[in-house]
Amino acid sequence: MSWMSGVTCRVREWQAQRARWKADMERFKTEQRAARKSGGRMPENPGPPPTGFALLPWLLMGMGAFSNIFQGKTPNPWIGGVGLLAFNSLYIFVTFRAFVKEKRESRSTRVALAVMGLLTCGLAIGYGGSWLYFFPLLGLATGAVLRGPWLGQIGLGVTALAAVVSFFRAGWDAVNVAYGTFLSTMVTAAILSLSEAVRELRAAREELARRAVEKERLRFSRDLHDLLGHTLSVIVVKSEAARRLAHRDLDAALVQVTDIESVGRQALTEIREAVTGYREGSLATELDRARSALTAAGVEPLVRQSGTPLVPQTEALLGWVVREAVTNVVRHSGATRCDITVDGTPERVSLTVTDNGPGTSIPDPASIPGPASAPAPAPAFTAAGSAPPTAPAPAPGTGGTGLKGLTERLATAGGSLSAGPTAGGGFRVRAELPVDSGDLAEATDLRRTPGFPGTRAGRVARLT
């Protein structure tokens, strides 16, 4: 039944691609209407998804052969029927693999194309007539699969083969068959090559935009370094002055200490603002770190990412989910494989992290072994001197303290997070967020949620 599961997965992929294309087209139409009203720049048409369905209608060229078999005009109809079924199967197999570069260049695809050529020659020589129109279909499949300098030579070879076989069976009508074969080969190769080049240019443009953003963030980090260097230098100088004055003039030393406190508080405020505004890590960076961490832990990572580019606030939230989920996989799951899937539409984006570990990814914090004599951490106190309220117990389906904080954070941004064991074993964490929301900026401010990963309370919670 493995082939059935493969077919089911392929159908689901086609459905997902079509759903994304419909969403992209709706967004394109909306942006197009807005651009016409405002007189701005027209948006780029996303176009249909590149799948083999675009080449299936050409199989109607074989309806003549099918009609001959159905009407009993073909000798040995069982052989002709099996040949027709085999040709159509090979055509579908080859054309659907032609839209994935790795599959298109694989040996199995080339072997299937060669078998398709031999079958075409056998059917055309044996039956002639309408069966000769299988040569243009062979040319179409050839143009869909082949790229590069060999395309012209092989295309001319297929055309010559079609001309010779057709001349043997139909005389000068071979000119039409040969012309159709050559035209289908070259036009298909040109259209698909151009479409692939456009997709690669779009991907390159998105990559350049992402790198430009990361470069700008690096510049901000250098500015932050300069800020820290200046502030720390002032603190060092004033500390030395306070030390020298402490024995002679206590009041002057206290003035210096007060200045140190003021400079430190101001620096803390500036650093928080800079970090919150400028140093939110991108999702791509977190995915790269996740791959590295999983590989180092002996877990095979599989990362899939699709959809439209995300705003920085959404990337920051999803980056925290990736970090928390992957940390739990590495520390607690005992898994050998971890799948990370990011799937976005113009309205919402989802992130799923699934492992195949034998146990749960979020253990009970009390069950984690530690030194028996380790004292309990002292509670942090607020400015008024009172201890802050303790973090609530994790809600069902949201795991430990880290995932609890993430759940609250995503809920603030209009999203959701669920976590729990899967039916076939392992653990799954799934987060959903709106692509653009007014609450995202508030949700990404890490200073507002006690117990959120990255804050002091969050680190204490993680250690317990």
Identify the H or E element spanning 306: strand 300-306
pLDDT over 50 (residue 378): no
Q: Helices H, strands E: what count in the chain?
A: 14, 5
User: What is the predicted pLDDT for the residue at 281?
Assistant: 56
Mean pLDDT of the chain: 76
Q: Reduced to 3 states, what is the DSSP secondary structure of residue 229?
A: helix
User: What is the predicted pLDDT for the residue at 87?
Assistant: 92
User: What is the predicted pLDDT for the residue at 116?
Assistant: 92
- Between these two residues, 269 and 83, which has the higher pLDDT value? 83
- Between these two residues, 77 and 353, which has the higher pLDDT value? 353
Identify the H or E element spanning 417: strand 416-421
User: What is the predicted pLDDT for the residue at 14?
Assistant: 65
Angle at which helix 134-145 crosses helix 174-245, to 10 degrees, equals: 20
* DSSP string of 72-122, one letter each residue: T-SSSHHHHHHHHHHHHHHHHHHHHHTTSHHHHTSHHHHHHHHHHHHHHHH
- Cβ neighbors of 244 (< 8 A, separation 6 or more) are none
User: What is the predicted pLDDT for the residue at 454?
Assistant: 41
Its sign, for the CA torsion 17, 18, 23, 27, is positive
- Between these two residues, 61 and 109, which has the higher pLDDT value? 109
- pLDDT tens, position by position, 105-158: 899 999 999 999 999 999 888 888 888 889 999 999 999 998 888 888 898 999
When pLDDT is averaged across residues 251-269 and rounded to a whole number, the result is 85
Report the candidate in 154, 208, 209 with the shortest Cα–Cα distance to residue 182: 154
Phi then psi for residue 189, to 5 deg, are -65, -40
- pLDDT tens, position by position, 285-329: 788 878 877 877 778 889 988 877 788 788 888 888 888 888 888
Q: Could you tell me what percent of the chain has a pLDDT over 90?
A: 13
* DSSP string of 441-463, one letter each residue: HHHT-GGGSTT-TTSHHHHHHHH
- Between these two residues, 451 and 442, which has the higher pLDDT value? 442
List the structure tokens of 396.
Answer: 């069902």
Report the candidate in 360, 354, 338 with the shortest Cα–Cα distance to residue 431: 354
Task: Assign residue 419 a region (left: φ > 0; alpha: ψ between -120 and 50; beta: otherwise).
Answer: beta
When pLDDT is averaged across residues 61-69 and rounded to a whole number, the result is 82
Window from 27-41, 159-173, 387-401 with minimum mean pLDDT: 387-401
Q: Report how far residue 448's alpha carbon sits from residue 205's, in angstroms, rounded to the nearest whole number.
A: 36
Q: Report how far residue 210's alpha carbon sits from residue 270's, in angstroms, rounded to the nearest whole number.
A: 26
Q: Report how far residue 464's alpha carbon sits from residue 391's, in angstroms, rounded to the nearest whole number.
A: 12
- Between these two residues, 420 and 439, which has the higher pLDDT value? 420
Straight-line distance from the first to the last Cα atom of the chain, in angstroms, rounded to the nearest whole number: 46
Where do we find the tokens 């040969």? 178
Cβ-based burial of 139 (10 A; exposed 0-12, middle 13-18, buried ≥19): buried
Q: Report how far residue 353's alpha carbon sits from residue 165's, in angstroms, rounded to the nearest whole number.
A: 56
When pLDDT is averaged across residues 439-448 and rounded to a whole number, the result is 47
**Are 127 and 168 within 8 A, CB to CB?**
no
Q: Reduced to 3 states, what is the DSSP secondary structure of residue 227?
A: helix
User: What is the predicted pLDDT for the residue at 227?
Assistant: 65
User: What is the predicted pLDDT for the residue at 9?
Assistant: 67
Where do we find the tokens 């395309």? 151
